[in-house]
Amino acid sequence: LGSPKFVLAPMVEGSDLPYRELTRRYGAQLTYAPMLNSGRFAADPKYRAREFTTSREDKPLFVQFCANDPVVLLQAAKYVEWQCDAVDINFGCPQNIAKRGHYGAFLQDEWHTVHSLVSVLAQNLVVPVTAKIRVFNDVQRTVEYARMIEAAGASVLAVHGRTREMRGVNPGMADWSQIRAVKESVSIPVIANGNILSYADIATCLEATKADAVMSAEAILWDPRLFSDPVLPLWTARMFHLSGSYRKIAVDLAAEYL
């Protein structure tokens, strides 16, 4: 696995195999597959075939599941453990679908469940288990939560510096000080997530958080070249905002993806 610093976030309908391949060409050093529903993945062969694809070159790769049942999660993870470098658990999704499905950030207050989900994978997979979380309003609670997940067996922790309530079109700024507090309190690698909008933000984030790596989601969807420090970065995914050289870059990247 090495020590990757540039990480493509798990994104439903975003971080599929072609997009992972595209971002790797432009500097991504670790990629996550889109979040998979553990219940459906464990039970439905058609869902598995449709929603998860990989290749020999698709390395290093973390495969993320949402879950609330350790037994079902393990069943799902067993299908991919030989095709990835780690299995990740989503404890960070704040969307209504996660609330309805009782997973993601809506498990934040159920520490016994969170611990069980992490530990069952850590004890039964041939690859490491990792986790992606959001912060609490209280930094001490965030730190205790992170320590609990580490103690349960997590080998890497991705920390999104926003709370469960910070979502939607204007979510507010991620709190890098909380990510730093986690980094200073655990012994496993920490990936910082939040506020990475340009290549210049990477160094600023690493300095502020002391994290081992940075993760990008929305901005790297705007421009898959984000991690290569592009001379003409794409600041938006809306084509009608682009003109001249920027439009050509966007069209060329779309063709490369396809």
Given 66, 84, 93, 205, the catalytic residue: 93
Phi, psi of 162 (to 5 degrees): -120, 155
Of the candidates 186, 113, 134, the one whose C-alpha atom is nearest the C-alpha of residue 155 is 186
Q: What is the rounded CA–CA span in Å between residue 9 and residue 45?
A: 25
The residues pairing with 91 across neighbouring beta strands, listed in sequence order, are: 133
Catalytic residue status for 93: yes
250 sits in which H/E element: helix 244-257
Helices (H), 15-155: 17-25, 38-43, 45-51, 70-78, 96-101, 111-124, 139-152
What are the residue numbers of the active site?
93
